[in-house]
Structure 1
């Protein structure tokens, strides 16, 4: 299970994509398909570096970088539709789901995501997790994207829990910085590639042990 920092926490706050749900590869595929219609390039390393930014913010940044005039609302809608088509392939991040299952009903939960409410709801419903969360704070609910702490502070306020009593689960550097700025403890969720590497290492260790 993912190790947590020491402390008595009164609430858990989770990023969604890449933290609760292993959705980043699916989101990237949807981005690629949507942006190809506008001849817009979105390198994979930039996509992951911008984790935590809102969809509209990403489109605006791509427009500025590449001298394009993509309509943010239309591109965001197209990307959302393409992502929903990929939802049957969605899985949960097992190390995080263990903590959700273990602490459910014992602590209140919130999601703080840069994705739209529609996207977050669809992802959590697909995995049967939506009902476990007391509060959803999504892109429409705040104005300053991570690493600004606005989203996390709003979630704490809605839960009625002091920021210093919240523990944040995040997979991006921007998210960790936002949690720190909010005065919250945090735990870094390994990215998908890191989790798979560790899993393969454990499998090899298990195979070697079995050989003896």
Structure 2
């Protein structure tokens, strides 16, 4: 049985219930701009970098309101979402605190690898009280491309210094699953706003973070055993 040395966590939609806040905040500003933005629009851009998301918005809306107005929409909606996060609107996902305590007990290293900016990763982890639970944080600023490119997970794996089979990724998005597979690191899917895709290999799909410790106890060894 493999000894589990470290877990690489996604953040948005996995540790922190931020995707719903992103959607609601962006929807409010889109309505103010008169843009045909829906939840399906938001989901179409889920799990990509800010740069790619901005290109997506320009492709959708430049012909309707012009490039400069789309740029203003991006700035205003981002600022509004940050305000919501600063107000504590994004809560920890169920089981997050307990899973991190389990990792500490079993001497499993924990790092974050997120396509978000370091500024927002820090804000959300601090607001939810778990910032100090991670040995390292890898953000979109640390790599040449965000997920589904494997660069974030490869950077985290290099930092940890363990064999990839002794690592585990926890993800909630298809792009994250693709990135983990391309990095050669086993991955568990915990769906958030979208169901688990059928076309990307995973170790298992679990309903929430509360279910992870039992799966780990059944399938891995630990350094304290």
- Alignment TM class, shorter chain as reference: 0.7 to 0.9
- CA gap of 1:56–1:175, structure 2 versus 1, over 3 A, is same
1:165-184 → structure 2 map (5 Å cutoff) = 165-184=166-185
Root mean square deviation, CA, Å? 2.6
Which residue of the partner structure matches residue 10 of structure 1? 5
TM-score where L is the length of structure 1: 0.78
Contact 2:33 2:73 in 1 (8 A): no
Q: Secondary structure at the match of 1:167?
A: strand
Q: How many residues align?
A: 191
Name the counterpart of 1:83: 81
The answer as to whether partners of 1:14 and 1:112 remain within 8 angstroms in 2 is: yes
In structure 1, distance between residues paired with 2:119 and 2:91: 18
**Structure 2: tracts of 5 or more residues without a match:** 196-206, 209-225
Residue 187 of structure 2: aligned partner: 186
Contact 1:116 1:140 in 2 (8 A): yes
SS in structure 1 at match of 2:95: helix
Partner of 1:52: 47
Q: CA deviation at 1:95?
A: 2.9
What is the CA–CA distance in structure 1 between the aligned matches of 2:113 and 2:69, rounded to whole Å? Answer: 25
Do 1:52 and 1:113's aligned partners in 2 also have CA atoms closer than 8 Å?
no
Secondary structure of residue in 2 paired with 1:122: helix
Q: What residue ranges of structure 1 are gaps of 5+ in the alignment? A: 1-5, 200-212
> Measured at CA, do residues 82 and 142 of structure 1 come closer, stay the same or move farther in structure 2, by a change above 3 Å?
same
Q: Secondary structure at the match of 1:89?
A: coil
Structure 1 residue 73 displacement after superposition: 7.7
Q: Which range moved further: 35-44 or 179-188?
A: 35-44
Deviation at 1:42, TM superposition (A): 3.4
Distance in 1, Cα, partners of 2:29 & 2:13: 20
The Cα of 1:113 is off from its aligned counterpart by 1.1
1:126-141 → structure 2 map (5 Å cutoff): 126-141=127-142
Q: CA 1:38–1:168 in 2, change beyond 3 Å: closer, same or farther?
A: same
Aligned counterparts of 2:12 and 2:126: Cα–Cα separation in 1 = 13
Q: Is the 8 A contact 2:7 2:168 kept in 1?
A: yes
Task: Give the Cα separation in 2 of the matches to 1:176 and 1:20.
Answer: 16
Aligned to 1:203: none
Whole-Å separation in 2 of the counterparts to 1:143 and 1:47? 24
Question: What corresponds to 1:92 in structure 2?
Answer: 92
Aligned partner of 2:59 in structure 1 is 64
